[in-house]
Amino acid sequence: MKIAVVGATGMVGHVMLKVLEERNFPITELLLVASERSVGKTMQFKGKDHIVIGLEDAVKARPDIALFSAGGGTSLEWAPKFAEVGTTVVDNSSAWRMDPDKKLVVPEINASELTENDKIIANPNCSTIQMVVALAPLHRKYKIKRLVISTYQSITGTGVKAVQQLENEYEGVQGEMAYPYPIHRNALPHCDVFEANGYTKEEMKLVRETQKILNDKTIAVTATAVRIPVVGGHSESINVEFEKEFDLEEVRQVLRETDGVVVQDDLETNSYPMPRFAEGKDEVFVGRLRRDESQPQTLNMWVVSDNLRKGAATNTVQIAEYLAKHRLVSA
């Protein structure tokens, strides 16, 4: 397959290339695509040099699939141009997620909805992906009534500038700021910009995207998203109220049998998910499973995943794998 990686020079783009190589995706021709300032740079894939090209040249090359991680503005402008020449776009930005005509896909949950006519496919927000992977099988069995979510999010979700800010602060060096305050030895309850209702865009993504992916607008969702000085991945405290009664050991078994989920829930050995151990892995780690003793039919859980992998690059590549396997690409 002829594959284009748009935003190849960015943080997620680098991880995307790594995941494509690790999973041995069937590539006959690879196009590394970036903004004009990066055109002409050389990057390696499977030990071979590739020259970065611009978006216009990439569209002319008519790739089978274009994996986008170049920001919402670029996606809104260029994804339709790729789609017009028959390319299937899998987009990592928020540009198309809530478009009623576009599928919002986590392969373990709803890849079966994809057809050959879906030329622009949206990849959900990183914090949403890891959460719904763990929640979908529980929703099917017990039906979720309400979610109360608190996230503890890695600075890698902001990008290279944030990583540099933390390193500068750790070393006592003055530098460019990705955040309005220091992040070292701090926690910022401010992920993305604030909306009119007082919630941030990140918090509202958890609300809207969860309902769309699980195809259930009756689920009540409220969230608080916090940025912490961690690199390995996002962590989430999730309080889940079900419509049906559940058995705690049955919940553990359902999760153990779920593709892409690893249960780490042994208090005797202090086994529970942590971002330092999730980093570089594709799975969603679930632990601290316990009843909410303040109200019935309610579960507390702790969910951790590498936001650059399953939260972005890996989920994108898994969608591409599904398209290839089921011959849904027609460029």
Residue from 14, 50, 139, 234 carrying the catalytic annotation: 234
What are the Cα distances from residue 253, in Å, to 149, 196, 216, 218?
A: 23, 41, 24, 26
| 191 is a catalytic site residue | no
CB 153 within 8 A of CB 227: yes
Residue from 14, 126, 139, 191 carrying the catalytic annotation: 126
CB 180 within 8 A of CB 190: yes
| 326 is a catalytic site residue | no
Residues 6+ apart with CB under 8 A from 252: 263, 265, 289
Distance, CA of 326 to chain centre: 23
Q: What CA–CA distance (Å, rounded) separates 62 from 50?
A: 17
Amino acid at 147: L
Task: DSSP letter for 7, please.
Answer: T
The 3-class secondary structure across 65-86, one letter per residue, is: EEEECCCHHHHHHHHHHHHHCC
- Pairs from 143-146 (Cβ < 8 Å, separation ≥ 24): 143/242, 143/243, 143/244, 144/214, 144/216, 144/219, 144/240, 144/241, 144/242, 144/243, 145/219, 145/220, 145/241, 145/242, 145/243, 145/297, 146/219, 146/220, 146/221, 146/240, 146/241
Distance, CA of 201 to chain centre: 15
Amino acid at 102: K
What 3-state DSSP class applies to 29? strand
CB 309 within 8 A of CB 11: no
The partner residues of 38 in beta bridges, in order of sequence, read none
290: left (phi over 0), alpha (psi -120 to 50) or beta: beta
* Residues noted as catalytic: 126, 234
